[in-house]
Amino acid sequence: MRKQIAAANWKMNLTYKQAETLLDEILAAGLEPSPNQQVLFSVPFPYLIMANSEVAEETSYFIAAQNCSDKKSGAYTGEVSAEMLQSIGIKYCVIGHSERRDYFNESNQMLAEKVNLCLKHEIIPVFCCGEALSVREQETQNSFVQTQLEESLFHLSPEQIQNIIIAYEPIWAIGTGRTASTQQAQEMHHHLRSVLAGRYGQEVADNISILYGGSVKGANAIELFSSPDVDGGLVGGASLQATEFQQIIKALKK
């Protein structure tokens, strides 16, 4: 059975003290995710050590990186490799967030390299995809997002693809307060699962968690997550508020 996942994306926010307080508040609620639920916190690089302290005792909570290099190692000042993440016990890494694609020119090909390096180092990529508003207005979002998957993921074997989490994040809904409707999210998630089934077979496709991202909040999470192909969310703004994120965790399907 595929996992239902609430993934926080803190982006470049919070001092370390604020981050510790937020995590403490969320954990203090004592929510106990069921065996098929997981909670991820994608934190800034310096805070990854929380994996060895703050959440070390928790079984369903994991600290994730927000990015890693497409290079193995070497003279790339400022970069952080998948191998380094593995060496400090990190098991999840967000790959290809639209902010990275847009501001740091990350191409589908570069993201394929990052995915390969993550898998080589036993890190599960949370692979982000999603279209800009102009693509949605032309009604070409299905083929646009399909190409993102094909160019970054479809070289993987059936065993490898089942170690990927996909996050569909329409760019027009990220940080804008404008959420995709439940129907729009379900339609795209169903399309992505069909594309995965076409390449890898239905059984493999059914094992892959596909998260929705884009202005998810406590108030809309239950409805969004209730769709059959929506397996939780990747959450930016609302993940910075303990009570909001607790509501989002509670909204996951059991």
Residues that bind ligand PEP (CB under 6 A): 9, 169, 174-175, 213-216, 234-238
Least Å from the CB of residue 73 to ligand PEP: 28
Whether residue 169 lies in the annotated active site:
yes
Q: Smaller CB distance to ligand PEP: residue 40 or 234?
A: 234
Residue of minimal Cβ distance to ligand PEP: 236
Would you give the DSSP letter of residue 75? S
Given the residues 54, 97, 131, 244, select the one marked as catalytic. Answer: 97
What is the separation of C-alpha 157 from the centre of its chain, rounded to a whole number of angstroms? 20
Least Å from the CB of residue 199 to ligand PEP: 25
Whether residue 191 lies in the annotated active site:
no
Task: Fill in the amino acid letter for 56.
Answer: A
Least Å from the CB of residue 94 to ligand PEP: 8
Reported as type and span, the H/E element at residue 27 is helix 16-28
Neighbours of 240 (CB within 10 A): 18
Count of H helices and E strands in the chain?
11, 8
Q: Smaller CB distance to ligand PEP: residue 100 or 121?
A: 100
Least Å from the CB of residue 169 to ligand PEP: 5
Q: Smaller CB distance to ligand PEP: residue 162 or 215?
A: 215
For residues 27 and 39, the answer to whether their CB atoms sit within 8 Å is no
Q: Smaller CB distance to ligand PEP: residue 121 or 251?
A: 251
Reported as type and span, the H/E element at residue 165 is strand 165-168
Least Å from the CB of residue 98 to ligand PEP: 8
Alpha helices in 43-97 (DSSP H): 82-87
Q: Smaller CB distance to ligand PEP: residue 6 or 200?
A: 6
Q: E-strand spans in 28-140?
A: 37-43, 61-65, 92-95, 124-129
Given the residues 121, 169, 189, 244, select the one marked as catalytic. Answer: 169
Burial 87-111 (b: 16+ CB within 10 A, else e): eeebbbbbbbbbbbbeeeebebebb
Active-site positions read 97, 169
